[in-house]
């Protein structure tokens, strides 16, 4: 049996040296170590031997088995490494090679483009960014802005209430209160953010939309400062050919208050369906900060004056790009967005 073991070992080593694949290794393992394999057959005949010969043959079988398994594991490691190298070669990608196809390019959402244009225009005029939370105290959203509990202007905003003292903010103006309470004037701030109102969804309304507000506090500010700031801002966003006008209006937190109109960006001021034939389009509300608001935040209105203006980014986007329905700006329809 020792001679037979030596022959089995020699034949297995020759097959290992000639093997070229994992499949050949599997076949060799089955022939040598399988249920009907050569070593298994020898072990089955050991019961016919004497105890002394069984010990010798058993030791020889184990030695042969361990040596062959060692060589087979080494061969498997070589084949595995070679297969990995071949896979790397197949999957190799030359990143310096020019692509033979055009990759699709994305673009910023039109509202994001408009927001950045507005922001950059105001920052270029010396404004700094300032923000506040979307879930706001009722006092900051209304009371300190000169809108006490019984003020009729509250009804116009149909607020989403969290509880009696907390609301989803209906405008970015609570940022004014936070600025007055935390910053030392003078300052010039631009305050962007989402706001919430119980509006029915239609071509010009959304219950969630984005506002931007400009707020300046300094000494001896007046309507001329407000008008000059807004003129510079409008020309930066819409171009030098667009005209502006202030039209008297009412807001509880400004006194006096006004709406800013610009010459229609669709018809150039000649009159069309969008501007209802007037040649003008209202884009934002503005005014001189009400003295009560300054007093509510601990400032002396005889020393400090404020000017403020607020606008809807979606409305500005519609005017800038000629979009007829604000819902297009929120639905993320790829057919609409790819135009930008």
* Same domain as 309, residue 239: yes
* Same domain as 156, residue 75: no
* 96 belongs to a structural domain: no
* 98 belongs to a structural domain: no
Contact 159, 168 (CB under 8 A): yes
Q: Locate tokens 């483009």: which residue? A: 113
Q: Which phi and psi (to 5°) does residue 260 adopt?
A: -100, 125
**CATH at 288:** 3.30.930.10
Q: Which phi and psi (to 5°) does residue 94 adopt?
A: -85, 100
* 100 belongs to a structural domain: no
Q: Provide, rounded to the nearest whole percent, the portion of the chain with pLDDT above 70.
A: 94
> 192: Cβ–Cβ under 8 A, 6 or more apart, which residues?
115, 119, 129, 131, 172, 210, 211, 212, 213, 313
pTM, 2 dp: 0.66
Q: What is the CA radius of gyration of the chain?
A: 40
* 104 belongs to a structural domain: no
* Same domain as 145, residue 117: yes
* 105 belongs to a structural domain: no
Q: Provide, rounded to the nearest whole percent, the portion of the chain with pLDDT above 90.
A: 42
Decide which of 57, 91, 125 is a domain's last residue.
91
Identify the CA nearest to 68 among candidates 116, 97, 29. 29
Q: What is the mean pLDDT of residues 59-88?
A: 80
* Same domain as 67, residue 126: no
* Same domain as 299, residue 157: yes
Element counts in the chain: helices (H) and strands (E): 12, 10
Q: How confident is the model at residue 1 (pLDDT cuts 50, 70, 90)?
A: low
Q: How far apart are CA 24 and CA 50, in angstroms?
A: 37
pLDDT tens-digit readout, 118-165: 999 999 999 999 999 999 998 999 889 988 777 766 666 667 888 888
* 219 belongs to a structural domain: yes
* 209 belongs to a structural domain: yes
* Same domain as 138, residue 62: no
* Same domain as 152, residue 238: yes
Lowest mean pLDDT across 32-36, 77-81, 85-89, 250-254: 32-36
* Same domain as 253, residue 217: yes
pLDDT tens-digit readout, 289-305: 999 999 999 999 999 99
* Same domain as 46, residue 123: no
Q: How far apart are CA 125 and CA 116, in angstroms?
A: 14
**Number of structural domains the chain divides into:** 2
* Same domain as 87, residue 217: no
For residue 42, what are the domain limits?
2-91
* 299 belongs to a structural domain: yes
User: Given the DSSP bridges, would you call strands 161-163 and 166-168 parallel, antiparallel or unpaired?
Assistant: antiparallel
Q: How far apart are CA 101 and CA 107, in angstroms?
A: 19
pLDDT at 223 exceeding the cut of 70: yes
Higher pLDDT, residue 225 or 150: 225
* Same domain as 39, residue 139: no
Mean per-residue pLDDT of the chain: 85
Alpha helices in the chain (DSSP H): 2-18, 22-33, 38-45, 51-91, 110-124, 138-141, 174-182, 223-238, 291-296, 313-321, 328-331, 334-337
The pLDDT value recorded for residue 230 is 94
* Same domain as 163, residue 55: no
Q: How far apart are CA 224 and CA 156, in angstroms?
A: 30
């Amino acid at each position: 049996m020792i001679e037979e073991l030596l022959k089995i070992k020699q034949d297995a080593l020759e097959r290992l040296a000639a093997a070229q694949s994992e499949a050949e290794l599997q076949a060799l393992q089955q022939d040598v170590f399988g249920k009907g394999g050569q070593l298994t057959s020898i072990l089955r005949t050991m019961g016919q031997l004497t105890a002394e010969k069984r010990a010798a043959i058993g030791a020889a079988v184990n030695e042969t088995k361990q040596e062959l398994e060692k060589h087979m594991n080494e061969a498997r490691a070589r084949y595995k490494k070679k297969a990995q190298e071949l896979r790397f070669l197949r999957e190799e990608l030359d990143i310096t090679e020019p692509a033979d196809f055009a990759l699709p390019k994305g673009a910023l959402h039109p509202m994001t483009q408009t927001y950045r244009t507005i922001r950059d225009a105001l920052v270029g005029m010396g404004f700094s960014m300032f923000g506040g939370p979307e879930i706001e105290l009722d006092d900051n959203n209304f009371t300190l802005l000169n809108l006490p509990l019984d003020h009729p202007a509250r009804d116009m905003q149909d607020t989403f209430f969290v509880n009696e003292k907390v609301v989803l903010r209906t405008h970015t103006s609570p940022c004014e209160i936070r600025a007055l309470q935390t910053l030392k004037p003078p300052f010039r701030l631009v305050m962007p953010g989402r706001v919430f109102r119980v509006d029915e969804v239609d071509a010009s309304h959304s219950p969630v939309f984005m506002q931007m507000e400009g707020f300046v506090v300094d000494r001896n500010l007046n309507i001329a400062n407000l008008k000059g700031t807004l003129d510079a801002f409008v020309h930066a966003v819409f171009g030098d050919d667009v005209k502006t006008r202030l039209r008297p209006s009412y807001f509880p937190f400004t006194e006096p208050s006004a709406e800013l109109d610009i010459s229609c960006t669709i018809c150039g001021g000649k009159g069309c369906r969008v501007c209802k034939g007037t040649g003008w389009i209202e884009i934002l509300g503005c005014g001189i900060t009400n003295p009560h608001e300054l007093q509510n935040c601990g400032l002396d209105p005889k020393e400090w004056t404020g000017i403020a203006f607020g606008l809807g980014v979606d409305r500005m986007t519609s005017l800038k790009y000629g979009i007829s329905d604000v819902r297009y700006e929120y639905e993320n329809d790829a057919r609409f967005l790819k135009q930008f």
